Amino acid sequence: MQDGMKKWMQLPRDVLVGHDVIYDIKDVCRDLKMGKDPLIVTGCTTKKIAGDIVFDQLSDCGQNVRMVVSAEASMDEVDRIKAEALEHNSSYLLGVGSGKSIDVAKLAATQLDVPFMSVPTAASHDGIVSSRASIRCNGKTSSIEANAPMAVVADTAVISKAPYRLLAAGCGDIISNYTAVRDWELAHRLTNEPFSEYAAALSRMTAKILIDSADSIKPDLESSVRMVVKALVSSGVAMSIAGSSRPASGSEHMFSHALDMVSPRHALHGEQCGVGTIMMMYLHGGDWKKIKECLEVIGAPTTAEQLGIEDRYILEALLVAHTIRPERYTILGTGLTPAAAEKVARITKVIS
């Protein structure tokens, strides 16, 4: 089915955003009749930060809880999680942690056709709500359709203690909606790709709200976390409405995925997408300087050096970005020439 042609949309039933909401998880599971004997998927670091809390919460109400630590968002991990869930006869799964843990649990739950709950420990990307899972398979990251979480429990007390870098990355992922929507509009005009005004407006508004309040995004401020989490939720909802990641993933994401392929070193997803947005907004003839300035105010990377990635990989990624999703038309068209890639990276000061 073409992007933007989904017959129905899946949205979470409950979205809790607030201080200490992690301690309401057992009530949410009961109210939503999630079943029993859950499997928690968490990360090495996030297990201690939140996985253990969720484990105790659900064990205390008589559930036979199992927890596994997942280190990567790969199809092998998804298969491992599914095997664990089947062996344990888990009636629902929880992803507790960052994007990798949430995506692996989300896709495993979808394939097992059991409910899934998203419990993010960082506001670093909009996958906390979306009906997409970005999973590596045969060396390539693909965006796979999944069931949206039945519930999202975003504890702002936990998330505000996460490294600020993760919050700044989440802002980059939201700001990237600007070029994603421009690419979608372009594809609609040039190829008649189905387009949802509603999903596009929600996605664009989410980015605008964040850009207009960039100077209030500060470290250790729970109000900053609340703002970014709500923006990530809206962005994820826009993807669910569209039935694809189109409203939140365009040429800037293709650049980021290409970077993941060509560069031996990676920055965070949202950081790479933010830098990609600067360059793609230049190609769109938009106000790329405003994007760059906003990311600088927030404290997100705006150059290859700040990403910790060599200039040559930025150029390499620009040259192959259009091949990441050939079916998704963007401003990259049939690809940049080497001279055009060099020009956009230098003019926007992404490379020096």
Ligand X SMILES: O=C(CO)COP(=O)(O)O
Ligand Y SMILES: NC(=O)C1=CN([C@@H]2O[C@H](COP(=O)(O)OP(=O)(O)OC[C@H]3O[C@@H](n4cnc5c(N)ncnc54)[C@H](OP(=O)(O)O)[C@@H]3O)[C@@H](O)[C@H]2O)C=CC1
Q: Which residues are annotated as a binding site for substrate?
A: 126, 173, 257
User: Collapsing DSSP states into helix, strand and coil, what is residue 6?
Assistant: coil
CB-based contact 50:22 (threshold 8 Å): yes
Residue 206 is a binding residue for ligand Y (CB under 6 A): no
Identified binder of ligand X from the candidate list 47, 82, 100, 132, rule CB under 6 A: 132
Identified binder of ligand Y from the candidate list 40, 122, 267, 314, rule CB under 6 A: 122
The total number of residues shown for the chain amounts to 352
User: Collapsing DSSP states into helix, strand and coil, what is residue 214?
Assistant: helix
CB-based contact 151:106 (threshold 8 Å): no
Where does this chain touch ligand Y (CB under 6 A) — which range of 159-167, 213-221, 286-294, 334-342? Answer: 159-167
Identified binder of Zn ion from the candidate list 77, 103, 155, 173, rule CB under 5 A: 173
Identified binder of ligand X from the candidate list 3, 103, 126, 260, rule CB under 6 A: 126
Residue 246 is a binding residue for ligand Y (CB under 6 A): no
Q: DSSP character for 247?
A: G
Identified binder of ligand Y from the candidate list 63, 90, 118, 130, rule CB under 6 A: 130
Greatest C-alpha distance within the chain:
63
Residue 259 is a binding residue for ligand X (CB under 6 A): no
Residue 173 is a binding residue for ligand X (CB under 6 A): yes
**For residue 18, which phi and psi values (nearest 5 degrees)?**
170, 175
Reported as half-sphere exposure (CB side, CA atoms, 13 A), residue 147 has a value of 20
Q: Virtual CA dihedral for 153, 155, 158, 162, nearest 10 degrees?
A: 80
Burial zone of 140 (CB within 10 Å; 0-12 exposed, 13-18 middle, 19+ buried): exposed
Where does this chain touch ligand Y (CB under 6 A) — which range of 2-10, 18-26, 127-135, 293-301? Answer: 127-135
Identified binder of ligand Y from the candidate list 84, 103, 252, 316, rule CB under 6 A: 103
Where does this chain touch Zn ion (CB under 5 A) — which range of 1-9, 28-36, 166-174, 210-218? Answer: 166-174
Binding site for ligand Y (CB under 6 A): 43-46, 49, 73, 97-101, 103, 121-122, 124-127, 130, 132-134, 141, 162-163, 166, 169, 173, 268-270
